[in-house]
Amino acid sequence: MYSFLYKDNPVFKIAENLFVGVAMGYWIVITWFNILKPDVFETLIVPIFKDTGKAPQFTILFPTLLGIFMLLRFSKKLAWLSRWSFAFIVGLGAGITIPNFIHAFILKQLTFDSLFSTSIPVSINNFLVLLGVVSVLIYFFFSVEHKGVVGGVSVIGVWFLMIAFGASFGYTVMARMSLLIGRIQFLIRDWLGLLQ
């Protein structure tokens, strides 16, 4: 895959297509054995055509139809049916996300915390948060020229921004490394069986 850094070449195209094909095949098999077979086929379809002693679970019919409607996106005549599935998913996602977002980012921000506390570290933390918020806001306030006191405070805002972006980048790198370690462990231990 890294041969693409040199230039576009046939080896890269073969590796890319092979990777996408294997990943898609793996995804289809996992989806069939982990979701479709136990949740749809064995609970809805098998009891209809075979006497298993269990009643068909018709409650799974609506989600199954919505999933099938998503695949109709590729049909020119029936593509309009996929809009119902996407509308349901967007509505469900918005209904779950918006109240949590309002609670976490609006209502929690409106609660008052005293700047001074009985604990010295809490007081220092409150002061640093106040200083960081005010200095970053002044840095982005372009109606006043950044000279004198305003310039000095905006420089502090730049430092707070650099620290925040650096911490965010470091956290992202740590998360990616953690994912990489997990994938390598899966390949070596579970897939290849080299480690027990």
Over the stretch 102-132, which tens digit does the pLDDT of each residue have?
998 888 877 777 778 788 898 898 899 999 9
- pLDDT-based confidence at 50, cuts 50/70/90? confident
Query: What is d(CA 95, CA 104) in angstroms, rounded to the nearest whole number?
Result: 15
Structure tokens at 53: 């002693």
What's the pLDDT score for residue 47?
86
Give kind and range of the element (H or E) at residue 141. none
What's the pLDDT score for residue 100?
92
Q: What angle do CA 124, 130, 134 make, to 5 degrees?
A: 145
pLDDT tens per residue, range 136-179: 999 999 888 989 999 999 999 999 999 999 999 999 999 999 99
Query: What is d(CA 66, CA 91) in angstroms, rounded to the nearest whole number?
Result: 14
Question: Mean of the per-residue pLDDT values for the chain?
Answer: 90
Query: What is d(CA 102, CA 96) in angstroms, rounded to the nearest whole number?
Result: 11
Is the full-model pTM beyond 0.85? no
From residue 54, how far is each of 8, 35, 41, 117, 121 by CA, in Å?
A: 57, 19, 13, 63, 62
Tally Cβ neighbours within 10 Å of residue 151. 13
Residue 7: pLDDT above 80?
no
Place of tokens 């305003």: 150
The 8 Å CB, 24+ separation contacts for 142-151 are none
Q: Residues of the chain with pLDDT > 70: what percent?
A: 96
- Please name which of 64, 25, 26 lies closest in space to residue 44, comparing C-alpha atoms: 64
Query: What is d(CA 40, CA 67) in angstroms, rounded to the nearest whole number?
Result: 11
